[in-house]
Amino acid sequence: MKIKHFKWPIFISILLLIGVLVQQYLPELYEVYADSTIKIVIDGKKVTSDVDPFISKDRTLVPVRLIAEELDSIVEWDNDNRAVHISKEDTHIVMRIDSNLIEYTNSNETNYNILDVAPQIYEDRTFLPIRAVSNALGVGIDWDGDRRTVYVNSSEESEVTKFFDLEISSVKEGQTISGTIDLSVSGSVPAEAAEIKYLLLDKDEATGFVIAGGTDLTKIYKWVPAMEDNGSKILVAAFYDAQGKFLAGDSIAITVNINPQIVLEGIREGQLITANRVPLSTSLNFSPAYVKYEMINPDNGAYYISPGVDPEQVFTMIPVMEDKGRMSVKVIAYDTEGNAYEGDYVNINIDVDRYLYLGGVSQGQSIDGSVTLTSQRNFNVTETEYIIVDNNTGVETILYSAGYGSYTWFPGPELAGSKNLYLRVKDTAGNTYSSSPVTVNVVGSPKLLLQGVGPGQVLSDRANLNVRTNVKLDSIKYILTNTETGQSQLLYEGQNREYSFTPTTGQDGSWSIRAEGSYGGNTIKTEEVKFTIYTGVLYSARPVIEKELFMDFVSELALSTKETTGMSAALQVAQAILETGWGQSVPVDKYRGQFSYNLFGIKGEGTKGSVISNTWEEYNGVAFRVDDYFRAYNNERESWQDHKDLLLLRERYAPFREVMHDSTKGAWALRRCGYATDSQYSIKLIDIINRYDLKELDRVTI
């Protein structure tokens, strides 16, 4: 930083103005030495004020107004930004209340410095540490501890000096950042330091966002800027202790002007592609919200574009026969506002071999139940046939025929023995292709599978009973058994497989149900399915607060967490919105009505035990709802803290913690760490954050 020397009498009556404009701000508490009054002497003359200097955090703070009345300056108060603007001729200084950043402009050149103690308002007066006053006024200011006196000498010149022996070493003052860059600091790291943060601040407001950092104080951190970072900025490196108290830092002016570099990796220009699966990835010099992969066949005009996907994950391209020939592939990156940044096309040639094989079974497999057969191919078809061949007789039978799709095969006793299975398909040109046969051994035991009620289900409403079987039934009956008394009752008997069972009052308790089928004089049975009947009052999810109040409600919780952990408040709020439907669907105990205060749908046991709610399972191909235990808490704050503990303490979320300060990177990291199975979970979070401008919750200052 180029040091400017200047001498000028500063300030007129800064605190007269502040006293009028900032009276809404409450004074803060300070550690003040009260054994004797601190005196101020300006150019040999003792001056007095209605508010005396004081010592805070081992620094002597003086009232700016007192000095300003003795010196000549122009002072303006920016109420919106709580900033004091002090100017004289071609020199201008900006200081913000409770901000350690100070801005010096001299002869149209602006530099920034980090104060060890921020300007403060005390008893409606603005106070500065005496060293900051010396820097600001360009005059000599000394502290005599024995006499407890501040001496101001306007005949002495002082220069702007840095408060800390620290320097951002990897980026230079005034540098233009065009893409990914390393961040590092040289100098004396405070002994108490526990964390370093790099901040990118807007010049106008001196607020911005954390862009990198961690607990490794000497590490070279990588900053991948986002398009939203473009503009004239202030880069700050700041050290904090374990309680989050600021210790030391440095700041420089930079310009962010990203020159997007979007490189498609995994294929190269002119490459001949013969593989059936081609992993693609993207190399970027900026951080997008998501990327899409676009593929065009210039010969036939075929076009495909992927959904939005994780910029840091592999995307698999699966060439098909229709792609044979030339293909152009590119990646498109999108920022949070939906603006697209396109990479160059990579032109390749596709020459894959046609493949067709039967999926769902393996060579030599024994089949004694239901299997799902699938058609695995890399070309389009108009007709698909699943075919079985008896290896003893050579007789060939079409099991299933359709345009395309899978087939659930449930072979019966008549198919017992060694069989070959294969596919026969017809492509769009009318050509017929067959897969290689898969030899299986069909056991073909008579089977009867119950559908409509699943193990552990709590039945409160009608159940549509049915069966699946691999024999031709003559009749079916459904039998209900009380597991406590052992008494059974016949619900239905007849030829219709479907039966609607509705539990009635008085049947509450533990039951089992089975089906029995008759065929050719034989009887087969399903397994006994144990379930519970409950006909009492059921409670459903309830709101935690009115929808229109939910945003402010959870924002307060998120901001509190951000202050102590650094986790993006925007991301926290977006998760709560997504998981609870704006706070309108919070689990309650379905039987007792106990409210869970569970804002994130976490299963298990919380500080107030658990509540029973519903989740989905599947039995014999039919989905049904079963009871599950969700964590319960005494209040919303306990739920919020438990969710943060989950993310901050579990080893699986270590990659998330590295980027949790960034809402976009954090959203993708959650998905990668297995927080959710929904492939669009991250996109949904990013959309909520951008739609409701939640990123403002992450705004910080120094």
Q: Which of 688, 605, 684 is nearest to 642 (CA)?
A: 605
29 and 129 part of one domain: yes
> What is the C-alpha radius of gyration for the chain, rounded to an integer number of angstroms?
36
Name the residue range of residue 318's domain.
262-350
10 and 80 part of one domain: yes
DSSP per-residue codes, 449-472: EEES--TTBEE-S-EEEEEEESS-
Domain final residue, candidates 159, 182, 217: 159
CB 286 within 8 A of CB 225: yes
> Residue 133 has what pLDDT?
72
Q: What secondary structure letter does DSSP report for 216?
A: -
> Residue 69 has what pLDDT?
65
On the 0-12 / 13-18 / 19+ scale of CB atoms within 10 A, 26 is exposed
The total number of residues written for the chain in this structure: 702
Domain of residue 414, CATH code: 2.60.40.10
CB 467 within 8 A of CB 478: no
408 and 466 part of one domain: no
207 and 275 part of one domain: no
CB 38 within 8 A of CB 149: yes
Place of tokens 């590490």: 219
CB atoms within 10 A of CB 474: 12
The β-bridge partners of 194 are none
- Tens-digit pLDDT profile for residues 337-384: 999 999 999 999 999 999 999 999 999 999 999 999 999 999 999 999
In-domain check, residue 587: yes
115 and 242 part of one domain: no
Residues 6+ away with beta carbon under 8 Å from 691 = none
> Residue 247 has what pLDDT?
97
The β-bridge partners of 323 are none
115 and 142 part of one domain: yes
In-domain check, residue 482: yes
Element (DSSP H or E) covering residue 67: helix 64-68
270 and 245 part of one domain: no
> Residue 391 has what pLDDT?
97
- The distance from CA 168 to its chain's CA centroid, rounded to whole angstroms, is 29
Six-digit token string for 117: 């103690």
> Residue 27 has what pLDDT?
37
82 and 189 part of one domain: no
In-domain check, residue 616: no
In-domain check, residue 284: yes
CB atoms within 10 A of CB 520: 9
Domain of residue 669, CATH code: 1.10.530.10
301 and 405 part of one domain: no
Six-digit token string for 675: 């927080």
Residues of the chain with pLDDT under 70: 1-36, 65-66, 68-69, 71, 137
> Residue 257 has what pLDDT?
99
In-domain check, residue 625: no
Domain final residue, candidates 498, 533, 568: 533
674 and 586 part of one domain: yes
CA distance 673 to 33: 52
**Counted domains in the chain:** 6
Give first-to-last CA distance, the chain, whole Å: 19
In-domain check, residue 618: no
290 and 383 part of one domain: no
Place of tokens 């020199």: 91
Residue 22 DSSP SS3: coil
Domain final residue, candidates 131, 159, 187: 159
The β-bridge partners of 376 are 357
> Residue 65 has what pLDDT?
66
| 180-to-199, 255, 261 alpha-carbon distances in Å | 15, 13, 10
CA pseudo-torsion sign 132, 136, 137, 140: positive
> Residue 644 has what pLDDT?
98
> Residue 512 has what pLDDT?
99
Identity of residue 372: T
Helix and strand numbers, DSSP H then E, in the chain: 9, 52
CA distance 113 to 102: 5
In-domain check, residue 103: yes
- Tens-digit pLDDT profile for residues 567-599: 999 999 999 999 999 999 999 999 999 999 999
In-domain check, residue 539: no
> Residue 90 has what pLDDT?
79
Domain of residue 122, CATH code: 3.30.457.10
> Residue 55 has what pLDDT?
83
> Residue 20 has what pLDDT?
32
CA distance 95 to 104: 9
172 and 149 part of one domain: no
